[in-house]
């Protein structure tokens, strides 16, 4: 068994205490930090996961059969946080490489590494 989270895994996170519009309570998150960082650091970088379905280019829809979660959910790459690994309570699932690639693209849009206007235009033309 791994002693540290791995990139692409979904973990239950204790988000408390929260401030403002941050996630609250115990909710899932996707580990997006690389595995070396996850192994060596006391922190990990995660993207919040929500059951609030909003089809924005920075969100990635995940189905229960591909996530280990009970509901259709969204990985919200607009809510990326560095958290202490103490907040990680238990592993819930693992995304496929294909779904992780979708998350990678959404992260690029969220961080401005790719042009959001171009991505929106391309999405509406497909």
Q: What pLDDT tens digit does each residue of the chain (126 aa) get?
A: 468 999 999 999 998 877 776 777 899 999 999 999 999 999 999 999 999 988 889 999 999 998 899 999 999 999 999 999 999 999 999 999 999 999 999 999 999 988 777 656 555 555
Residues 78 and 100: their CA atoms lie apart, in Å, by 16
Supply the range of the domain harboring residue 97: 9-125
Let me know if residue 119 belongs to a domain.
Answer: yes
Map 60-110 to HEC letters. EEECHHHCCCCCCEEEEEEEEEEEEHHHEEEEEEECCHHHHHHHHHHHHHH
Domain membership flag for residue 1: no
Domain assignment present for 3: no
CATH value at residue 19 = 2.30.30.110
pTM for the structure as a whole = 0.87
pLDDT for position 95: 97
Residue 2, in any domain of the structure: no
Q: Domain count for the chain, please give it.
A: 1
* 43 within some domain: yes
């Amino acid at each position: 068994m791994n002693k540290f989270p791995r990139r692409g895994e979904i973990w239950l996170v204790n988000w408390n205490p929260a401030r403002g519009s941050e996630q609250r309570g115990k909710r899932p998150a996707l580990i997006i930090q690389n595995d070396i960082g996850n192994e060596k650091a006391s922190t990990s970088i995660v993207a919040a996961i929500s059951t609030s379905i909003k089809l924005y280019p920075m969100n990635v829809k995940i189905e229960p059969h591909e996530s280990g979660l009970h509901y259709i959910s969204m990985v919200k790459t607009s809510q990326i946080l560095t958290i202490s690994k103490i907040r990680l309570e238990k592993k819930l699932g693992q995304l496929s490489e294909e779904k992780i690639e979708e998350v990678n693209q959404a992260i690029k849009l969220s961080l401005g590494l790719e042009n959001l206007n171009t991505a929106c235009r391309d999405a509406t033309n497909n």
